[in-house]
């Protein structure tokens, strides 16, 4: 049914009366575009005039909603929705944040918040798991990178914004959350019931895989991560110098840019780490390594996968371009954009994409990701059962070794469960054999 066109209502007239003078006065935008050189070397001027025709159309749409929508809608709600739309249509990571969302984002950056411990993003309009955070309900339940979340507590996620989804998934501790996910290669969705917890995310873990071979796990990049990683390296090196190190960045969704720079600087003593480029000069930054480097010569293997994103890709890209370590695993996620959190005067905020970052050799990671030097897919080792070989230790009356036996059962089981980690350790041993022969 088509309704007749009627005269504009009073709210729309008031809105037009406010917006049209702004357009006619050609008020410059808050972040004006910088001039850019074309192929002929000339400089294009960028107009900062607000378009009059689009302003009129916006006012008309506003008026139609106020007059004809099935339910009464407050002007404040319509304007807030318009601001959300402006940002959500730019890219998957820009967003308008109300007071609760702004506070929630600040809490997650500081490393403590209530929820299930999951990093999500939007891809082709679908809510997708970027990665579950270590030791949280999401990781313990078996959620995986690139799972598509299709329902949250029975509510379909189609058409839902990223911020709306995050708000639904967070809540008070000890409350339950039902989510349905569709995994690649499967036709039927998987159902998960998770219990929310206070997520206190410790971003750094470490252990010795074998004597001289360390393992450094970074689950996300928080402000304290570089200091924690430095302390972990010092603890592992106390007994004897490290002969090799596995830096595990798998399922690391990123975090604070400066933290990524600090971690890369632990392994680099010179050269560029990362630089950013944006429209505003203040967003063009460059970060280089310092000489205060505790592990500049330790043989290094870096593990990445499809859940390694953003700041994790900065570290992997810097170490790869500087030929500092071997990147192993599968292609990373490909989030090469920088977001700034901008507070607004009313206690709300904007999360706005302001720049792209580049590896030392000028590679943009956006929508490309980091390709590993050595492809190793996720899997586990299966030991074939068969005839058992007899060794010297099985012979009756064999001479005893003067060295204490090593209890490797627990670690061996872990390496069997984690094929990528096992291959990383094997590669480190091979690198050391080659280095010893060269010396």
Please choose, from the candidates 54, 52, 68, the residue with its C-alpha nearest in 3D space to the C-alpha of residue 8: 68
Q: Computed from CA positions of residues 421, 331, 432, 227, in that sequence, does the dihedral angle turn out positive or negative?
A: negative
Catalytic residues: 310, 321, 335
Pair 293, 268: CB distance under 8 Å: yes
Pair 321, 359: CB distance under 8 Å: yes
Element housing 357 (H / E): strand 349-358
d(CA 149, CA 132): 13
Q: How do 213-218 and 204-210 pair as beta strands?
A: antiparallel
Supply the DSSP symbol for 364: B
Report residue 341 CA to chain centroid gap: 16
Q: How many CA atoms lie within 13 A of 149 on its CB side?
A: 34
320 CB-contact burial (10 Å; exposed 0-12 / middle 13-18 / buried 19+): buried
Q: Which two tokens stand for residue 85?
A: 């739309």
In this structure, how many other beta carbons lie within 10 angstroms of the beta carbon of residue 86? 12
In this structure, how many other beta carbons lie within 10 angstroms of the beta carbon of residue 365? 24
Say which residues have a Cβ less than 8 Å from residue 325's Cβ, sequence separation at least 6.
247, 267, 299, 300, 301, 302, 319
DSSP bridge partners of 148: 128, 182
Pair 327, 302: CB distance under 8 Å: yes
Say which residues have a Cβ less than 8 Å from residue 39's Cβ, sequence separation at least 6.
none
Report DSSP letters for 294-346, one per residue.
Answer: TTSSS-EEEEE-TT--THHHHHHHHHHHTT-SEEEES------EEEEEEE-TT
d(CA 275, CA 365): 12
In this structure, how many other beta carbons lie within 10 angstroms of the beta carbon of residue 270? 11
Measure the N-to-C terminal CA separation of the chain; round to a whole number of Å.
85
Torsional class of 324: left (φ above 0), alpha (ψ -120 to 50), beta (otherwise): alpha
Count of residues making up the chain:
439
């Amino acid at each position: 049914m088509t309704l007749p066109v009627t005269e504009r209502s009073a709210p729309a007239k008031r809105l037009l009366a406010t917006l049209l003078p702004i357009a006619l006065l050609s008020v410059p935008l808050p972040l004006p575009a910088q001039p850019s050189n074309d192929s002929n070397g000339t400089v294009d001027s960028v107009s900062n005039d607000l378009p009059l025709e689009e302003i009129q159309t916006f006012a008309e749409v506003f008026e139609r909603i106020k007059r004809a929508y099935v339910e009464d809608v407050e002007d404040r709600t319509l304007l807030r929705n318009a601001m959300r739309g402006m940002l959500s249509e730019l890219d998957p990571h820009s967003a308008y944040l109300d007071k609760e969302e702004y506070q929630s984002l600040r809490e997650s950056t500081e490393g403590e918040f209530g929820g299930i411990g999951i990093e999500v993003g939007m891809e082709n309009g679908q809510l997708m798991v970027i990665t579950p955070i270590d030791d949280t309900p999401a990781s313990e339940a078996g959620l995986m990178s690139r799972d598509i979340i299709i329902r949250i507590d029975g509510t379909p996620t189609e058409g839902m914004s990223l911020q709306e989804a995050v708000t639904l998934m967070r809540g008070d501790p000890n409350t339950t959350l039902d989510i349905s996910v569709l995994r690649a290669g499967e036709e039927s969705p998987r159902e998960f019931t998770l219990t929310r917890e206070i997520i206190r995310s410790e971003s750094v873990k470490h252990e010795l895989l074998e004597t001289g071979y360390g393992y450094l796990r970074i689950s996300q990049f928080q402000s304290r991560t570089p200091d924690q990683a430095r302390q972990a390296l010092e603890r592992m090196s106390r007994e004897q110098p490290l002969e090799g190190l596995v830096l595990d960045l798998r399922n690391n969704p990123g975090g604070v840019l400066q933290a990524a720079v600090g971690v890369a600087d632990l392994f680099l003593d010179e050269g560029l780490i990362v630089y950013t480029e944006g429209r505003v000069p203040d967003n063009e930054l460059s970060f280089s390594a310092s000489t205060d480097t505790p592990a500049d010569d330790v043989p290094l293997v870096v593990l990445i996968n499809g859940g390694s994103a953003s700041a994790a890709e900065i570290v992997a890209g810097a170490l790869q371009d500087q030929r500092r370590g071997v990147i192993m695993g599968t292609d990373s996620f490909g989030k090469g954009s920088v977001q700034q959190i901008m507070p607004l005067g009313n206690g709300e905020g904007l999360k706005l994409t302001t720049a792209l970052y580049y590896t030392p050799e000028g590679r943009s990671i956006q929508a490309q990701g980091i390709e590993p030097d050595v492809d190793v897919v996720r899997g586990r080792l299966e030991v074939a059962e068969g005839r058992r070989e007899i060794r010297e230790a099985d012979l009756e009356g064999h001479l005893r070794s003067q060295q204490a036996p090593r209890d490797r059962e627990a670690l061996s089981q872990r390496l069997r469960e984690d094929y990528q980690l096992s291959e990383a350790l094997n590669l480190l041993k091979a690198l050391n054999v080659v280095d010893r022969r060269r010396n």
